[in-house]
Amino acid sequence: MVYEWHVYGVEETQRFAEMLGSRLAPGDLLALEGDLGAGKTTFTQGLARGLEVRGTVNSPTFTIIKEYQGRLPLYHMDVYRVGEDVDSLGLDDYFFGEGVTVVEWASLIEEVLPPERLTVTLRTTGESARLIQLVPEGDRYVKLCEEIEW
């Protein structure tokens, strides 16, 4: 099942993500997909607001993982440049921890991701328009998607 919503502009993208972030629970995993510039980091900034993270959230492109404190810890990963070093990162500690894990370019590490997760794909449909597609894998995420009112 694929759930879809259209958003227009950075602010609306972040408001949608903030609404989603406010519903997340410990151990939740979001696998973010989308082309360069599709809004993955922008989406994560909104999620962070929903998790009551204070401060600036930016892409962990070169650090790979950034941790933020809020209502729940937020583990923000960008695995675009990880390559074969994925096993040395200790990702299970994040995936099965007490926080929310967001993985940009998640398909690049598909083989190490837990089977239950929420895949979020962002597609550019116009100059400032985006299509947000959510694919829930597991009962927890199906319920989460069904409860979204947008």
CATH number for the 3-146 domain, one of 3.40.190.10, 3.40.50.1400, 3.40.50.20, 3.40.50.300?
3.40.50.300
Residues 6 or more apart from 73 whose CB is under 8 A from it? 67, 97, 98, 99, 100
Under 8 Å between Cβ of 17 and 45: yes
For 70-119, what is each residue's pLDDT tens digit?
999 999 998 887 766 666 566 777 788 899 999 999 998 888 899 999 99
Q: Are 143 and 12 in contact (CB under 8 A)?
A: no
Q: What's the half-sphere exposure (Cβ side, CA atoms, 13 Å) at 81?
A: 7
Coil vs helix vs strand at 72: coil
- SS3 category, 105: coil
* Residue range 55-81, pLDDT digits in tens: 899 888 777 889 999 999 999 998 887
Q: How far apart are CA 129 and CA 7, in angstroms?
A: 6
Q: Domain ranges for the chain, please list them.
A: 3-146
Q: Evaluate if residue 19 carries a pLDDT over 90.
A: yes
Q: Which pLDDT value is given to residue 86?
A: 65
The per-residue pLDDT of the chain, averaged, comes to 92
